[in-house]
Amino acid sequence: MQGAGNDFILVETGDMNTAWAAASRAMCDRHYGIGADGLLLLMPSDIADLKMRIFNADGSESEMCGNGLRCMVRYYLDKGNVAGKTRKIRVETAAGIREAEFNETSEIKVSMGTPAFGENDIPVKAGECKVDIKQLLVCNINVAGNAFRLNMVSMGNPHAIYFTDNPVMDFPLSDIGPEITGSELFPEGINFEVARVLDGKTIEARAWERGVGETLACGSGACAAAVAAILHDYVENKVNVHLPGGILKTDWDGSDEVYLSGPAKTVFTGEWKGLRRKR
């Protein structure tokens, strides 16, 4: 499945004994596997309509993935699991319960939770960052002789947003991204977005995700960039985030949950043989 070019392999399963981290590494390999940014597991839930687990291409498990969440909801709907006038479903994630809304269009709107900004929410090396604009935690880092001012936002997973005045396609993301995501400043890694404000309703961005690398879109990253821009008074509450893979729509009132909308669709289905059990 793909959402704005952010692509995933989705497996519907209740199996807790498969070595899913190893499966993700094998399946997501773009040369020797199927090829994807991550592996989504749709699993039964005792507290919601379904449960989502997300493994990155390197086998690490992530707390949240906005595009993955929308893809999973699209799959769930296409399977005919929702009947009647129901227009909302609830999804259990590692970051908490998330609610999804849908209508007759191809877009899926999901709640991404309330953004968080403290050092307890975003693992950073103690004493290296400080609170600056409103409640934003800001980290200054030098990479390849250049200084970057990073705005820290957690959307259930941690993000560092760098605002630039130049086109984001000109930014050397393949050089800078790995240095920031792997910096000792962030002991658990970080998702990095470079963003440019185009006007009060539009941002362009690119994302380098921990455990994946550059992706065509990042849902939680789009939300994080919009939240940081709103706190800086760069943009209004409803923002279209233009990413290499497409446009994602964000909506945040400045205090409560962030909402993310955009396309999600199935590309193809198939079988994978040789899943290994946990030892």
Cα–Cα distance for residue pair 227/161, rounded to 1 Å: 10
Amino acid 109 reads K
Distance of CA 138 to the CA centre of its chain: 20
Which of these is catalytic: 28, 129, 139, 218? 218
> What is the widest separation between alpha-carbon atoms in the chain?
59
Helix spans in the chain (H): 20-28, 66-78, 173-181, 219-231
Burial tier of 57 (Cβ tally within 10 Å: 0-12, 13-18, 19+): buried
Contact 230, 239 (CB under 8 A): yes
223 is catalytic: no
Which of these is catalytic: 65, 71, 129, 139? 65
218 is catalytic: yes
Cα–Cα distance for residue pair 98/260, rounded to 1 Å: 11
Q: Which residue, 27, 36, 33, is CA-closest to 8?
A: 36
Catalytically active residues are 65, 218
